[in-house]
Structure 1
Amino acid sequence: MAQWWRSAAGHLRTVAASRSSSSALRRSHYHTIQAIPRESTGSKVSSRDRMQGRIPAVVFSQSLLEKFPDARTPSKKHLLTVEKKQIKAVLNSVEAPFFCSTRFPLQIRAGAGSSHLLDSGTVLPIKIHRDEESGQILNLVFVWAEDGMKLKVDVPVVFQGEDACPGIQKGGILNKIRPSLKYLCPSEHIPSKIAVDVSNLDIEDRIFMRDIEVHPSLKLLSKNENMPVCKIVPTSLGNKEPVGE
């Protein structure tokens, strides 16, 4: 019977990128991040900004993170501060796990409350630095993410269908091996999350990276597409599948 389930799972399994990426982008446009320039840096300056309800931030081209950045690509780097209240509202709206896989419009104003626009564009958050004890956001890192740009993005994996999974109903456990997958994405096709349906999996069944269906323009950045994303393991099996490339 288990063998039949495994065979059926191979045919009935549906693994797809979340269709919510377009709706997430529409939601993000309700949150045009407002920023102002930050002329000086340092821990004292940053502490003062936080005391005033602002978060230090930086935005630049992702190519600057490469080992050998392309000198032909303009860096367009800005040191900024953003409103703490607005960032908290954004995190509550898009859900924190998907913040760094969602694009947002950015407007850089001459000063707080100023109508003078210095620069604008679309950005992707790539890092939230938090205080380890308090959880307070210390600073944010963004990269420019205009249409046509290709970005390396860690897309969160969300597992669905656990309540209907035959393997779990038999007492198995879903071993979530990969919490995210890294893709090279045209910025306009960045998925906010990858939805993986496990509702047809039996014990010992796996879903592999190669099974994930995404927009054809996305390129999986992995040395081995045969690595599993998840597996249903028997309850008696204490050791989990190792994570790796």
Structure 2
Amino acid sequence: MTKFTKIDVSSRAKAGKGAARATRRAGLVPGVIYGGKQEAALIALDPRIVARELHKPGWRSRIYDISIDGSKTEHALLREIQLHPVSDAPLHVDYQRLAEGQKVHVEVAITFTGEETSPGIKRGGVLNIVRHTVDVVADPANMPEGFSADLSKLDIHDNVRWEDLKGTEHVVPVQHIPNFVIATIAAPTVDAEEAAEEAETPEAAG
């Protein structure tokens, strides 16, 4: 069952750059909720809400329960955030409205566990993460907050593939490569100085 993150926003009366600047001068972030074969809703929200959600993992697949002026409610995905090039302050946010029965394309983050008990990592292997996220098509009613990859039994040269991830039951990957690689345990690298010293020893010289 999908978990919703509730946020409160206010409505905006006008669109356009001038209205957006006025919203920012009032200390709020202008935004829009679009899609679902409905008219776009112009909104304004507290910048602290945007900053809080950005710092949480998995925000790209989180569904928001947006209360507009304390009355109308929209279910939506946060699709785009425009940030100031210098201060990184949020300038504008776009939400995609979710319609009943409509499947959506989302980017889901992967959490890696068991690194401290992985035999390969204990032997000096290095975790090589090929994908931190996976693009999938999902039903909003069963939206995953994230996927997890268990490394606890992996040795050197072992890998984690799509079918090894937990939490993928209700989604379809966009990637067309069958059972693609998520991460591998690579062999330990040899320090260049140590290799040079070994080459200078009598045994190495023959």
With the length of structure 2 as denominator, give the TM-score of the two structures.
0.81
One of 46, 53, 56 as aligned partner of 1:91: 53
**RCO higher in structure (CA 8 A, sep ≥6):** 1
Partner of 1:57: 31
* Separation in 2, partners of 1:167, 1:182: 28
One of 174, 178, 183 as aligned partner of 2:136: 183
Q: CA deviation at 1:128?
A: 2.0
One of 165, 176, 184 as aligned partner of 1:223: 176
Partner of 1:41: 16
Output aligned runs, 1:34-183, within 5 Å: 34-42=9-17, 44-61=18-35, 74-88=37-51, 90-91=52-53, 95-109=55-69, 117=71, 119-183=72-136
Partner of 1:198: 151
* Separation in 2, partners of 1:48, 1:140: 15
Give the RMSD, CA atoms, in angstroms.
Answer: 2.4
* Separation in 2, partners of 1:149, 1:172: 43
One of 191, 201, 207 as aligned partner of 2:160: 207
Q: Check whether the contact 2:11–2:41 (CA below 8 A) recurs between aligned residues.
A: no
Partner of 1:65: none
Q: CA deviation at 1:38?
A: 4.3
Report how many residues are paired. Answer: 191
* Separation in 2, partners of 1:48, 1:75: 26
1:110-145 residue CA offsets vs partner (Å, 9 max, x unmatched): xxxxx6x4x422111122222232121111111112
1:6-45 residue CA offsets vs partner (Å, 9 max, x unmatched): xxxxxxxxxxxxxxx75xx26x2xx333231241211x43
By percentage of residues, which structure has more strand? 2
Task: Name structure 2 gaps, 5 residues minimum.
Answer: 192-206
With the length of structure 1 as denominator, give the TM-score of the two structures.
0.69
* Separation in 2, partners of 1:100, 1:158: 14
Task: Name structure 1 gaps, 5 residues minimum.
Answer: 1-20, 62-72, 110-114, 239-245
Secondary structure of the 1:32 match is strand
